[in-house]
Every structure is written in structure tokens, then in C-alpha cells.
Amino acid sequence: MEQTLAIVKPDAVARRLTGQILAAIEERGLRIAAMKMIHLSRTQAEGFYAVHRGRPFFDSLTAFMSSGPAVALVLEGEGAIARWRELMGATDPAKAAAGTLRRRFATDIEKNAVHGSDAPETAAFEIAYLFNRLEIQGG
Ligand code: CMP
């Protein structure tokens, strides 16, 4: 069964949107295999987003992602990576389809409420970055 890494980002946690986002995940039929609240340090955020190092938004993104608590999850299901990305909507909320989480909840392209892995290799890296094996529950 495919797994993906999801994050309810600091903007969404601060705005008390976690419950609505978790409800949408479960309504979509994705199983929550692991979940915890995290508060990344700047260095940890830089490591998580290492593929974006050198991009113009890297400093601002890592400052934002380390600015407050977030909720990290491992989601599981058939096609979980694509299904979670579909539910999130486009990175830029202005381009996200109606009904998607980013369209509903994102403030802008950076404070965009949720994160999801974009491919199987990224999912494996991101899950291992934030969870150890004992924290991930089998169905
Ligand atoms: P995420 O899916 O977590 O992956 C990388 C993040 O960088 C993205 O969501 C946004 O939060 C942020 N991001 C991507 N593109 C831009 C951009 N052009 N300007 C600002 N932030 C961006």
C-alpha cells in the first residue's frame, strides 16, 4: 500500500484548521498511519526542504516552516501520493481547484496550509526524515 507524507503547516495549525483538514483526509478514504505535532528548527526545515535550496523562496519558506507547530502525518492508501496531492490542490491557491484544501484554506503560495510528497522517492525521504518505524502503525 502506498504511503505519503503530509504536513498541516504552521499557518493552518495557528488558524485552528487542523480538525477540518484531518476530516477531509479521512473523508477522502486515506488512512492515517502516523501523526504527531512537530515544531521544526530552522536547520531541520532546511534539511526537509533541501531539494529547494538555492530557490529564491528557500529562506522565507524555511523561516515559515519553523515559525510554529505543525502536524506531520503518514497517509496510506492505493495511489495515496496522487490522491493527497489532488485533495491539496495546486501549490498556488489562486490556481487551486474549488473544494481543494489550498483553495479553501491557503493564504498565499508560501503559507499554503498543507504539504504533500510529490513522488515515491520523496515520500520515502520525507517519511524517514520525520518518523521512525515504531511511530507508523500498520492497518
Ligand atoms: P510545498 O508543497 O510544501 O513545497 C515547497 C513549498 O515551497 C511550497 O509548498 C510552498 O509553501 C513554497 N513555495 C513554492 N513555490 C513558491 C514560490 N514561488 N514562492 C513562495 N513559496 C513557494
Distance, CA of 38 to CA of 71 (rounded, Å): 6
Q: Could you give the residue ranges of the DSSP H alpha helices within the chain? A: 10-14, 18-27, 42-48, 58-65, 80-88, 101-105, 120-130
Alpha carbon of 31 to ligand 1 centroid (Å): 25
Active-site hit among 115, 123, 126, 127: 115
- Contact (Cβ atoms closer than 8 angstroms) between residue 23 and residue 14: no
Query: Percent of the chain beyond pLDDT 70?
Result: 100
**Residue (of 106, 83, 111) closest to 93 by Cα position:** 106
Structure confidence by residue, pLDDT tens digits, 21-66: 999 999 999 999 999 999 999 999 999 999 999 999 999 999 999 9
Q: Is 109 in the pocket of ligand 1 (CB under 6 A)?
A: yes
Count CA atoms closer than 13 A to 115's CA, side-chain side. Answer: 25
Enter the C-alpha cell of residue 97: 481547484
